Amino acid sequence: MDEINLTLENVESVVQHALLHQPITDMHTHLYPPTFGTPVPNRAGHVDADGLMLWGIDQTLTYHYLVAEVFRVVPATQLPFDTFWKMTVAQQADHIWQTLFIERTPISEACRGVLTVLERLGLDPNEKSLDTYRRFFNQQDPDDYLNRVMELAGVNSITMTNPVFDDNERQRWLGGANHPVDSRFKAVLRIDAILRDYPMAARRLHEWGYGVQPQPDARGIAEVQRFLREWLDRQQAIYMAVSLPPEWTYPISPAAAGSAATAANAGQTMLEQAVLPVCRERKLPLGLMIGARLRVQAQLREAGDMVGRADVLAVVNLCLRHPDNKFLVTMLSRENQHELCVAARKFGNLMIFGCWWFLNNPSLIEEITRMRLELLGTSFIPQHSDARVLDQLLYKWPHSRECIGRALADKYRDLLGTGLRLTQAQVQRDARLLLVENFQDFLSR
């Protein structure tokens, strides 16, 4: 077949085509296979109230991004938080649909996302009530629907987040929810409590039969290592991950005092003596998601988290002091993006990824991707979906693909301006690097 050369006229369409036809490895989501249970009634009417696989219109509309938005329009003085949380998921979804989609123009990215999902599924987004959508979802079988969504979204591998201190999830792993292994999913051992709240983690570990004390000692360190190895094996996890607050520093600040300092000290000891050695031994990256200030408005629950500017030097120090470890890093604050990008130029063991959470908006994805292309070429992971509800793959990826495509097309245009010849095959190679191989290669490095 003749090679297609890039021209100023065809560049946009060649790029969008290449991105669309490159199956994606989604390297961070909160999605689960059907074997982890689903609260959405399937064709047989079966419901697992605490099931982890979220999908369908009610779950899509009650996404925490939309919960935050509905409370701006109908504030808690009118609809108290408690009243909202006592409503059924279907009632909450009706309230959100009525308030944000019928009575207002659904212009925010989270609202637009719901409409994109409906459109991708061939549903008319102009319905006044949710009945038609509910009928559609009630007819789906979760397993078939999962395949359909993955195909429509162009995603062929979903990376889970598997918080090991979450009792519901833990019990499912222990009960064999992942047997047989669902080849569409990969696990990630999420260990926040070990680094953020060691006394709590130690209490739980002690209950589960590990010889740990509230303060790290040699035995405790060995036991935490044993715990990590056991869970990595159980989950066949492809990396370990943690979300850290904006205040997180490495090494810990000498100015820290009181109980915060004790917790930070224990966290640092566990990081250096348990987590990083096990990562090294298994050749696994540690994923750091930095900048989330949790429960600033606790009554909003998951919707109540906030962003804060973090310390990029902490990442630099980590990469410098632990050259044999690999770090996958994303930061939540827009203000951190440039500095983090420059840091990535210094360290082969640092892979930056994604436009996380409050950054997952078209204007910011485009801005950040352009900057990363200019500073890092194609050596970064431009996006992950962070989907919590399966259906969200149907909007988060198409919306991101458009932004990444626009940024890339402009860069190719600039290159064409120098007289460089470029082909469709080169664009496809870049798409593969950005959407799959930078991540896979970093894992296997």
Shortest spacing between CB 243 and ligand RAT, in angstroms: 4
289 part of the interface to ligand RAT, by CB under 6 A: yes
Helices vs. strands in the chain: H and E counts, helices first? 20, 10
Single residue of 95, 326, 388, 396 touching ligand RAT by CB under 6 A: 388
Shortest spacing between CB 65 and ligand RAT, in angstroms: 8
What span, in angstroms and rounded, lies between the C-alpha atoms of 309 and 244? Answer: 12
What span, in angstroms and rounded, lies between the C-alpha atoms of 389 and 85? Answer: 19
Shortest spacing between CB 77 and Zn ion, in angstroms: 31
Residue whose CB is less far from ligand RAT, 353 or 412 = 353
305 part of the interface to Zn ion, by CB under 5 A: no
Measured at the CA of 382, the angle between CA 354 and CA 314, to 5 degrees, comes to 50
386 part of the interface to ligand RAT, by CB under 6 A: yes
Residue of 304, 308, 313, 268 lying closest to 290 (CA atoms): 308
Beta strands in 191-303 (DSSP E): 237-244, 286-290, 292-293
Single residue of 101, 357, 380, 395 touching ligand RAT by CB under 6 A: 357
243 part of the interface to ligand RAT, by CB under 6 A: yes
150 part of the interface to ligand RAT, by CB under 6 A: no
**Of these partners, Zn ion, ligand RAT, none, which one is at the site of residue 430 (CB under 5 to 8 Å by kind)?**
none
Residue whose CB is less far from Zn ion, 354 or 405 = 354
Interface map 422-441 toward ligand RAT (x if CB under 6 A):
--------------------
What span, in angstroms and rounded, lies between the C-alpha atoms of 39 and 53? Answer: 7
Residue whose CB is less far from ligand RAT, 202 or 389 = 389
- In order of 284, 346, 370, 414, the CA distances from 374 in angstroms are 28, 15, 6, 11
Residue whose CB is less far from Zn ion, 192 or 386 = 386
Shortest spacing between CB 63 and ligand RAT, in angstroms: 8
Element (H, E) at 330: strand 327-331
Exposure string (b/e) for 128-164, b if CB count within 10 Å is 16 or more? eebeebbeebeebebbebbeebbebbbbebbbbbbbb
**Of these partners, Zn ion, ligand RAT, none, which one is at the site of residue 399 (CB under 5 to 8 Å by kind)?**
none
Size of the site for Zn ion (CB under 5 A): 1
Positions 27 through 46 that interact with ligand RAT (CB under 6 A) = 30
Shortest spacing between CB 392 and Zn ion, in angstroms: 12
**Of these partners, Zn ion, ligand RAT, none, which one is at the site of residue 196 (CB under 5 to 8 Å by kind)?**
none
Answer whether 301's CB lies under 8 Å from 285's CB.
no
Interface map 161-200 toward ligand RAT (x if CB under 6 A):
x---------------------------------------
What span, in angstroms and rounded, lies between the C-alpha atoms of 409 and 58? Answer: 37
Task: Determine if residue 374 is left, alpha or beta; phi over 0 gives left, psi from -120 to 50 gives alpha, anything else beta.
Answer: alpha
Residue whose CB is less far from ligand RAT, 14 or 24 = 24
Positions 371 through 400 that interact with Zn ion (CB under 5 A) = 386
Residue whose CB is less far from ligand RAT, 30 or 411 = 30
| Partners of 86 in the β-ladder | none
Cα atoms found within 13 Å of the Cα of residue 35, Cβ hemisphere only? 15
Residues that bind Zn ion (CB under 5 A): 386
Residues that bind ligand RAT (CB under 6 A): 30, 161, 243, 289, 302, 357, 386, 388
